[in-house]
Structure 1
Amino acid sequence: MNTMTAINTDRPEPAPKKFPITTLAIGFVILVCMSLILLQAWVTWRAREVQLAETERAASNLARSVSQHAYDTIKGADTVLVGLVERLEVEGISEINLPRLHSLLIKRVEELPQLHGLFVYDQYGNWLVNSQPSLKKNGNNSEREYFMFHRDHTDRDAHIGPPIKSKSTGEWVVTVSRRFNNRDGSFGGVVLATIQMGYFKKFYEQFDIGNTGAIYVALTNGTILLRRPFEEGSLGRNISQLPLFHDYLPNAKMGTETFTSGQDGVTRINSYRQLDSYPLVVSAALSKEEVLADWKSEAIIHATGVACLVFGLALIGSRLIVQIGLRVQAETELLKTRNSLEQLNHTLEKLAMQDGLTGLANRRQFDIALKDEFSRAMRNASSLALIMIDVDCFKQYNDIYGHAAGDECLRAISKVVADGKHRPGDLSARYGGEEMVILLPGTDVAGAMKVAENIRQAIYHLELKHTGNSSGVVTVSAGIDAFVPVREHNQPLELIEAADKALYCAKSQGRNCVRVGNGHDA
């Protein structure tokens, strides 16, 4: 038997790695603490969701009550108006009928507690009869919104106008009106019922909506009719651009949404409904902060208890954690040192590949890139282009303006050259002195010519003063060439030489121009 292949059975196998007991202990403590925290977080969050769900139901029920009350109130007034319209259109208006009609209006106001008054106006807005104890006929309401609406619209439905102050009492009222016609169908006048604002306020004050809750009734065009808390400045305000009208009502006639009020900045749970029979929208909104106040208090108490328990468990394992922390700290410092060295090496490598004056790639990086792109072009049978750029009369520029100005000039030109490339694979480099090159993989002569000409024009339009140049400003000349390299027939140096010859041609033909290899002009 060949002894070289014999297996040494006396050699012990390596023992399996084991986790330190401290790691297991810390893991157990963390697991217990996290379980307690997550469990308490879930219970707390669930309680919050339940509280919000109950509040949404309460807001929805409140909105339903408010909408029904608004409907009943408006319907009672409108029913009286329907009877008045029928009587006026059948019996007409005469001085003989006015006293009897006056008594009827007074009786209807006494029967319906929500009514502030009933009024009849002729086609010119003059007072014909009303529910006031003493019949006055010297007023005119032709300038009121409801009168102008009926005068200009043939619609026979009830019209609810914005809140106004009564001329007779000075109180805020909500108006419900209808048009009546003459026997020939022409506009005969308006019958009006005014509803006391206090009637709504008294009803809304029965509900517990907290300190910052809100109830309001508005027209479908966004005009507020009334609001709790009552604010005289908000009456008649248009809120059509606020979330309820702008975002939610167009999609659903009823619903419950949470958003921040555009009037007072309070975030509320809003339940809204749009009435079918009348152009009204009601909303009942409860403050989200007030709703969650009790939940927050309980959450803080429970969280404090869990925090104390977690703290006790953490205290028990603190000694283990300290030891592990010291070890991790040492390893972290070593890792930071290694990362710093790697970053420093990367920076040095980048600096070694970058020209210090212009910020472009240096000659070394260009040579490496040219070799790589030349090989890639041979493999892919693709064109490789090179632009060689030289600053015209740069020696004279240094003689006239000094080397510091010359350096600034090169920096400005280099920025234009760097901006001239647009693809990630393109490379701009300082070739030497005032010469710069642009390597364009996958580009033919026409493409390179366009890039070179754009750069030449951009440098010319910098208008850097140069009295030693015939044009009076700094200009550049460029030579380009491009071909598809063939393995074992072409070398990278050939591309440089061809572009250099084209550059020499541009210099000899007057500068400030672009020339292409083989004598093709840009």
Structure 2
Amino acid sequence: MSSVRREHAAPQLPIWAAVFLTLICVAIFAMSSWREWSTRNAELKNTEIDMANLAQSLAQHAADTFELADTVLNGVVHRLEVDGNGREAITRLQTFIDMRRPKLGRIRGLFVYDETGRWLATTEPVSLNGLNNSDREYFRRHAESDDRGLLIGRPVKSRSGGQWIITASKRFNHPDGSFAGVVLATVDVAYFVKFFDRFDLGKKGAVSLLSADGIMLARSPDDGTYVGRDLSNTPLFKDRAARPASGAYYFTSPLDGVQRLSFYRTSEHFPLLILATKAQDEVLAPWRKDAAVRMTFVLALLLIIAVIGVFFVRQLQVRQRMAAELVAKEADFRLLAEESSDMVTRIGMDERIQYVSPSSSRVVGWPPEQLMGTPALAGVNAEDLPRVKALVAALKRGEEEDARIVYRSRHREKAEVWIESTMRVTREYETGAINGVVAISRDMTEHKDLEQKLSSLATLDGLTGIANRRHFDEQLEREWARARRDGTPLSLLMIDVDHFKKYNDRYGHQAGDVCLKSVAQALAAAARRPADVAARYGGEEFILLLPDTDRAGCELMGSKIRDSLAVLGIDHQANLPSQKVTVSIGGAIAFVQDAKASSSWLVEAADRALYVAKDEGRDRLGSGLTTATR
């Protein structure tokens, strides 16, 4: 080594040592900070999970409550529509309601109003004379709408008890279908508040039950001012269309100004939303205390490292000549790793191999002596070669210092292998000019094969081996767009195994799985065209997408499926009269013309046709096969 080189390296070593120690201190501090931040995020994430579980339980509780109300109301509505609302019928109904009162459980009271709002019957011990509820919002909505579903109203003050209540009501009709009155069930807001109080969410935590349009139905804790508040202008409800049915939600409460960590969940059956929250300060209080202790220890450690570092740098200044000489000698040899399991290659500026490690025998099948001096890119797959050449050229020009690339390469014994190479330029010590590239390569074939298998499994149903619901939805959207673009018909068959629950009950779930696999194989055999998609839609339901297929083709495919199952002749003693496994099929055909039309219409139409097939006796393609222009 020249004296110039030694003089250049020696003074720099203490400086680099000081920089290195500084970087160590910075790295320790950064890692500690990152760890604390990660711990903070983990604390928040764990709380999110707790809130999610709580919201799920509370949403189910609320749904059960209104499901009970719906059941009770259905019974009363049925009696009213069968017996009428004459004096004798109402007397019998009052007796029936009085008998049911002890069994209502969560339901506070039942009320029956005629078409004028006059009280006809109730579980409350009040005089009905002169009482009229025609001014209530729920009454007006039922009078104006033919909807027979359950209506969950805004909280109101009870006229019989004076407390806040949540109303659940249904309309009943005269025999001619005209409005006959309203049946109402009430649930005390206090019932939900008392139930929510069971859960410890800290001093500032809260649980809220809201309607889907943002009205506060119940809240715990409640200071008497929260019930009935309109929160529809808050971000949670303003952005409802863009949000999933459930999720974490961080916000500053408009009710008390507390920064909250929460989880909301929308009921699957009713227009309700549960919001379980904790104050973010309370969640993070233990973390802040522990983080302060840990960071104090880290700062003390950094101070010790700094003191030792100063002493170390001073020692380096004394020994810098000897250390610089050692670093200069080792710098020429550290790039090559003879014992590495990966293949280490040095490539010259002429793109020929100057050195290759013994691992080449394992990675590409050729020993090092046969590769020395050969073109480094000779074995690269022709399709990948332009990418690899471009990367190597960029490294040689100094546009990149290091890079990583995955490509296919020829193997001596195998057809081809996938190679991942990490490349880095090397430079002349004195001038800094690039003099080659060092590549560290490993065999990635198994990894690539696993990626391909996982990609395939993501589109298949695990039991039947045919397409899953997710893949079907993607193909439906793609074929819907193509049918609209090309003006071709798009057909869909919805298939349901007849009396499959009875089959499982009689033959067992393992036999049920075998049955589903057989049905799936019959569908897969029928879907012969590349664009046809046979998929498991859920449970014992299957679906068959038939692009460019008209009504006749749809009916023919349905007949083929039924014939295939008849040939299989799977015993099903509970499926009369054939006592064999059969399917009911609903079909729909769409001629897509409207650019705004949704593909969901086709699924809904096929589902309706399936119910027609079931109503007509099963084991058939329903006569309600739907054809429409959308």
> Scaled by the length of structure 1, what TM-score is found?
0.56
Q: Which residue of 2 is the match for residue 277 of structure 1?
A: 269
Describe the SS at the equivalent of 1:232. coil
State the match for 2:335 in structure 1.
none
Equivalent in the alignment of 1:34:
26
Distance 1:209 1:15, change over 3 A: closer
Q: Which one-letter code corresponds to 2:247 in the other structure? A: G
Match of 1:407 in 2: none
Partner deviation per Cα, 1:236-286 (whole Å, 9 max, x = no partner): 222122121112454322222323333333232222222232111222122
- Structure 1 distance, partners of 2:47, 2:99, is 43
Q: Give the Cα–Cα distance (whole angstroms) in 2 for the partners of residues 15 and 150 of structure 1.
A: 95
Deviation at 1:199, TM superposition (A): 1.4
Alignment of 1:16 onto 2:3: no
Q: CA deviation at 1:133?
A: 3.1
Is 1:148 matched up with 2:129?
Answer: no
Out of 105, 116, 122, the position equivalent to 1:124 is 116
1:50 CA displacement: 2.0
Matched, 1:102 2:94: yes
Cα 1:55–1:14 change in 2 (3 A) is: closer
RMSD (Å) for aligned C-alpha atoms: 2.5
The equivalent position to 1:166 in structure 2, one of 154, 158, 168, is: 158
**What does residue 346 of structure 2 align with?**
none
Name the CA distance, whole Å, in 1 between partners of 2:4 and 2:308: 38
Equivalence for 1:383: none
Match among 257, 260, 264 for residue 249 of structure 2 = 257
Shift in CA distance, 304/189, structure 1 to aligned 2, threshold 3 Å: same
How far does the alpha carbon of each residue in 1:206-227 deviate from its partner, in whole angstroms, 9 at most, with x for none? 1121122221111111111111
2:613 aligns to what? Answer: none
Q: What does the per-residue CA deviation read over 1:325-384, in whole Å, with 9 as the maximum and x for residues that have no partner? A: xxxxxxxxxxxxxxxxxxxxxxxxxxxxxxxxxxxxxxxxxxxxxxxxxxxxxxxxxxxx
Q: What is the Cα deviation at residue 175 of structure 1?
A: 0.3
Question: Would the alpha carbon gap of residues 248 and 266 (structure 1) be closer, same or farther in structure 2, given more than 3 Å must change?
Answer: farther
Specify the SS of the correspondent of 2:59.
helix
Q: Which residue of 2 aligns with 1:175?
A: 167
Whether contact under 8 Å (2:261, 2:280) holds in the other structure is: yes
Which residue is 2:73 aligned to?
81
Corresponding residue number in structure 2 for 1:435: none
Q: What residue is the counterpart of 1:187 in the other structure?
A: 179
Q: In the alignment, what sits opposite 2:289?
A: 297
CA gap of 1:262–1:23, structure 2 versus 1, over 3 A, is: same
Question: 2:84 — aligned with what?
Answer: 92
8 Å contact from structure 2 (residues 266, 273) kept in 1: yes
- Report what 1:111 is aligned to: 103
The residue that corresponds to 1:43 in the other structure is: 35
CA shift for structure 1 position 15: 6.2
Q: For 1:437-491, what per-residue CA distance to the aligned partner results, in whole angstroms no more than 9, with x for missing partners?
A: xxxxxxxxxxxxxxxxxxxxxxxxxxxxxxxxxxxxxxxxxxxxxxxxxxxxxxx
Please tell me whether residue 236 in structure 1 is matched to residue 249 in structure 2.
no
CA contact (8 A) 2:207 2:276 kept: yes
Identity over aligned pairs, percent? 40
Contact 1:210 1:290 in 2 (8 A): yes
**How far has the Cα of 1:51 moved from its partner?**
1.5
Distance 1:250 1:87, change over 3 A: farther
- Give the equivalent residue in structure 2 for 1:205: 197
Letter in 2 for 1:294: P
CA distance in 2, matches of 1:267, 1:79: 40
Secondary structure at the residue paired with 1:276? Answer: coil
Which secondary structure state, in structure 2, belongs to the residue aligned with residue 236 of structure 1? coil
Task: Give the structure 1 partner of residue 603 of structure 2.
Answer: none
Aligned residue identity for 1:302: R
Match of 1:216 in 2: 208
Counterpart contact for 2:112–2:121, Cα < 8 Å: yes
Q: Secondary structure at the match of 1:36?
A: helix
**Contact 1:275–1:281, Cα closer than 8 Å, also in 2:** yes
What is the number of residues matched between the two proteins? 312
CA contact (8 A) 1:106 1:132 kept: no
- 1:196 equivalent to 2:184? Answer no
Larger Cα-atom Rg? 1
Deviation readout 1:29-75 (Å, 9 max, x if unpaired) = 42332232133223222222222221111111111001100001111
Report the Cα distance in structure 1 between the residues aligned to 2:15 and 2:257, rounded to whole angstroms: 51
**Helix, strand or coil for the counterpart of 2:207?**
strand
What is the one-letter code of the residue matched to 2:228? G
The equivalent of 1:509 in structure 2 is: none
Moved over 4 A (4+): 12-15, 315-322
CA distance in 2, matches of 1:173, 1:218: 13
* 54-63 or 21-30, which deviates more: 21-30
**Quick one: distance in 1 between partners of 2:292 and 2:280?**
18
Deviations 1:115-170 (A, max 9, x none): 22111111111111111235533211111111111111111111111001111111
Show CA shifts across 1:406-427 (max 9, x none). xxxxxxxxxxxxxxxxxxxxxx
Change (3 A) 1:15 1:188: closer
More helix by share: 1
2:547 alignment counterpart: none
Pair 1:67–1:94, CA change in 2 (3 A): same
2:290 partner letter: E
Letter paired with 1:65: S
Higher relative contact order (CA 8 A, sep 6+): 1
| Contact map agreement 1:118 1:130 (CA 8 A) in 2 | yes
Q: Could you tell me how far 1:193 is from its partner in structure 2?
A: 0.6
- 1:56-101 residue CA offsets vs partner (Å, 9 max, x unmatched): 1111111100110000111111111111111011101122233332
TM-score w.r.t. length of structure 2: 0.47
CA contact (8 A) 1:129 1:137 kept: no
- 8 Å contact from structure 1 (residues 179, 188) kept in 2: yes
Supply the distance in 2 between the matched residues of 1:201 and 1:135 (Cα, whole angstroms).
29
SS in 2 for 1:75: helix
Q: Which amino acid aligns with 1:91?
A: D
Q: Is the 8 A contact 1:162 1:174 kept in 2?
A: yes
Cα distance in 2, alignment partners of residues 23 and 14 from structure 1: 17
Residue 227 in 1 paired to residue 253 in 2?
no
Alignment of structure 1 residues 336-347 onto 2, 5 Å: none
Q: Which amino acid is the alignment partner of residue 139 of structure 1?
A: L
Question: Separation in 1 of the partners of 2:47 and 2:94?
Answer: 48
Q: Which runs of 5 or more structure 1 residues have no equivalent in the other structure?
A: 1-11, 323-522
Supply the distance in 1 between the matched residues of 2:4 and 2:109 (Cα, whole angstroms): 106
Match of residue 59, structure 2, among 64, 67, 79:
67
In structure 2, distance between residues paired with 1:61 and 1:154:
37
Correspondence 1:287 to 2:279:
yes
**Residues 15 and 308 of structure 1: is their aligned pair in 2 closer, same or farther, counting only changes over 3 Å?**
closer
Q: 1:261 to 1:44 in 2, by over 3 A?
A: same
Between stretches 73-82 and 108-117, larger displacement belongs to: 108-117
Distance 1:24 1:276 in 2: 63
Secondary structure of the 1:102 match is helix
Unmatched segments (≥5 aa) in structure 2:
315-630
2:484 is aligned to none
Cα distance in 1, alignment partners of residues 66 and 79 from structure 2: 20
Amino acid at match of 1:16: E
